[in-house]
Amino acid sequence: MQNPATPANPSATSGQMAAPAYINRELSLLAFQRRVLAQAANPEVPLLERLRFLCIVSSNLDEFFEVRIGGLVEQIHHGGRSAGIDGRSPAETLRLVSAETHAIIAEQYALLNDVILPALEAEGIVFLRRNHWNDAQRAWIHDYFMREVLPVLTPIGLDPAHPFPRVLNKSLNFAVELEGQDAFGRDVGYAIVQAPRALPRVIQLPEELTGTPHGFVFLSSVMHMNVGELFAGMRVQGCYQFRVTRNSDLFLDEEEVKNLRQAIQGELTQRHFGDEVRLEVADNCSEAMSDFLLQQFGLTRQDLYRTPGIVNLVRLNQVPDWVDRPDLKYAPFAPTLPKVLHKGYDIFAAIRKQDILLHHPFQSFGPVIALVTQAANDPDVVAIKMTVYRTGTDSALMEALVRAAQSGKEVTVVVELMARFDEEANINWAQKLEHAGAHVVYGVFGYKTHAKMLMIVRREAGSNGSHAFRRYVHLGTGNYHARTARFYTDFGLMTCNEEIGSDANEVFKQITGLGKASRLKHLLQAPFSLHPCMMAMIQNETAIARDGGKARIIAKMNSLLEPEIIQALYEASQAGVEIDLIVRGVCALRPGVPGMSDNIRVRSIVGRFLEHSRIFYFFAGGEEQIYLGSADWMERNFFRRIEVCFPILDPKLKRRVMKEGIRPYLNDNQQAWLLDSSGNYLRRGSRGARQSAQANLLKDLTEGLDI
């Protein structure tokens, strides 16, 4: 098998593709940020939601620098010159990415300052700039500073006894230029003031001072006006907010790690002080101060980002929650339940009656919580096994597992400690579960447990009066996280199918115990069968097309990067297979290239909800195989993660997946972006009736679709 990290040989024949056949991963990821930014620019999106999308872009870019740029910088520092699958070296990629990111951030702040903030002000939601404060506002803000801000600040003058402080990742800081002598007769030119994270970055003023119930000031403006209070008898020549972003990936050496949880806890404390990769400063920052800060952090001008406004737009995400203006937000909706789950339903009886497919957020996540809660309280349930990747700090599911363990049930939880940025929450849940008596395991070192599986073993009476064990299984495309289930689109299957239950049991045995991988009847599992089976299903469509038969592939996922899969799709296209790919984010495949990918279409849907479900459809000579799962078509998902894809066996549920998970997205002409052969995304034209997948699903499912 070709090494997935190695680009195909440009001179090779027999199907191997040259590097130009692939789109650069980092540039593709930035193209996704542009599609999110377009939501903020869209006047049809409610105004406060446009502000949220603007904040989402900043949050996404933070993670992009912490992980992707951090990785590129590390490669360059270690002398890495090997090209990615698109043929670009790390240094060339970093140069292109830096230019594109600067352009995106410039557009983001122009949209904020020239469009969104004026539109908010017209609606009575005002962000008061300090040069527009009146005397009453200035007095209130000064009093607020003295009471709420000054007591928690620690100014640090820079001299031989006070070196430049360690600056936390993404923290708000102020660099102050001073003139004069301090109490000890020292001429201190520069000082640093770090704003504790407990301080709010946006402060609401009383209505009587602003004439509106929604008047705000930024903490940075409060600091600018009052920073002189920290340096008595000295003159402030300048005060500049800045923020540094650091490489936040964790590194663990398998040969050195003896206790995974302890090792991760040790690494988490260092995450805030990883290598610097970006410096953000306000656009009023002097050149001298910018150069000084770059020198302190070992960065270059390429790494400097000047912002015409606050340096952390993520903190504006609180404002829509504070402002009670339903007319400026998405309309609320109530997720429904499948008909089989009538009022006061017994979840086990409902699953015995039929397989249940849940489509979040249009249908409630409540049945998943009810399944675990009922299992925890049911005396006939003897065992519960579950994987946990992301679940949040406040989880009814985890609390139910704790209660189940405390009541003496056999509870086994596979907690993934390396779920990026959720490590601390997962460690805390692992400790609570262990204290309650649950068996907690951390998967297999080197393989993230990304599969979404829940299995409940229940003792039930048979027809002849005997008792037997029955397995109830939930398999999903998304996390066991009630909050994200409200704005991520995902599918979940509840079943007591004996063969699927047996497969799930085998996967749990592999993760928690030792032994060879067993052949599974229905589930496809990474790192074993998932990649070869997906390749085989693509190649089967290719063979059918070459024989003149109807062949069709439709796949929906977050990311598409794995070279062998891409190469197989190119070969399928050349054989005449019709291929539609719905890829929310990164896509390295280049569609529509004559002679290579004529029959491949790639679209991305960006809307109110984060598209998260993975669906894989193969016509299969009329059998129409449909698999759902948690795995994208990426090298990491196929080879470095424990993943599960599961088939939809019930014909009625197959039709539902097509009706809800595929066709609306292929018909969407409102939120769809089409990827062209040059690697650019263009909005799909809206000729004919307006079709929005998410809006249609909200209308159909939340109004009680007959299933």
87 contacts 19 by C-beta, under 8 angstroms: yes
Topology (CATH) of 524-701:
Endonuclease; Chain A (3.30.870)
Mean of the per-residue pLDDT values of the chain: 89
H/E/C letters for each residue in 470-516?
Answer: EEEEEEECCCCCCCHHHCEEEEEEEECCHHHHHHHHHHHHHHHCCCC
Let me know the angle formed at the C-alpha of 287 by 62 and 142, rounded to the nearest 5 degrees.
Answer: 75
Q: Which two tokens stand for residue 213?
A: 């119930």
The position carrying tokens 């912490």 is 66
Q: What mean pLDDT comes out for the span 272-291?
A: 89
Q: Which two tokens stand for residue 536?
A: 């085989």
Sequence ranges of the domains in the chain: 23-104, 128-328, 347-512, 524-701
Q: Would the CATH topology of 128-328 be identical to that of 347-512? A: no
707 three-state secondary structure = coil
Q: Is pLDDT of 664 > 80?
A: yes
Q: Is pLDDT of 108 > 90?
A: yes
Q: State the Cα–Cα distance between residues 636 and 348, nearest whole angstrom.
A: 35
Q: State the Cα–Cα distance between residues 201 and 317, nearest whole angstrom.
A: 11
Q: State the Cα–Cα distance between residues 209 and 578, nearest whole angstrom.
A: 63
State whether the Cα torsion 507-508-511-516 is positive or negative. negative
pLDDT in tens, 593-641: 999 999 999 999 999 999 999 999 999 999 999 999 999 999 999 999 9
279: nearest Cα among 256, 301, 250: 301
Q: Which two tokens stand for residue 287?
A: 């050149």
Q: Give the number of other CB atoms < 10 A from CB of residue 129.
A: 12
Topology (CATH) of 347-512:
Endonuclease; Chain A (3.30.870)
Share of the chain above pLDDT 90, in %: 75
316 three-state secondary structure = helix
Share of the chain above pLDDT 70, in %: 90
To the query of whether residue 450 is one of the catalytic residues in this protein, the response is: yes
The whole-number pLDDT of residue 15 equals 43
CATH architecture of 23-104: Up-down Bundle (1.20)
The whole-number pLDDT of residue 84 equals 82
149 contacts 223 by C-beta, under 8 angstroms: yes
Torsion angle (degrees, nearest 10) of CA 360, 366, 371, 372: 100
Q: What mean pLDDT comes out for the span 571-590?
A: 98
What residues does 694 pair with on adjacent strands? none
Q: Is beta strand 578-583 parallel, antiparallel or unpaired with respect to 600-605?
A: parallel
pLDDT in tens, 505-554: 999 999 998 778 889 999 999 999 999 999 999 999 999 999 999 999 99
The whole-number pLDDT of residue 262 equals 52
Q: Give the number of other CB atoms < 10 A from CB of residue 423.
A: 19
DSSP 449: E
Whether cis (ω within 30° of 0) applies to the bond prior to 361 is: yes
555: nearest Cα among 571, 540, 567, 537: 537
Q: Work out the pLDDT band at 263, boundaries 50, 70, 90.
A: very low
pLDDT in tens, 319-367: 999 999 999 999 999 999 998 998 788 999 999 999 999 999 999 999 9
What residues does 206 pair with on adjacent strands? none
pLDDT in tens, 12-68: 333 444 447 899 999 999 999 999 999 999 999 999 999 999 999 999 999 999 989
Q: Choose which CATH entry (3.40.50.1970, 3.30.1840.10, 3.30.360.10, 3.30.300.160) describes domain 128-328.
A: 3.30.1840.10
pLDDT in tens, 195-207: 998 899 999 999 9
User: What strand order describes the sheet that includes 190-194?
Assistant: 155-157, 190-194, 173-179, 235-246, 276-282, 304-307
Q: State the Cα–Cα distance between residues 264 and 418, nearest whole angstrom.
A: 8
605 contacts 671 by C-beta, under 8 angstroms: yes
The pTM score is: 0.91
383 contacts 375 by C-beta, under 8 angstroms: no
Active-site position among 214, 450, 474, 531: 450
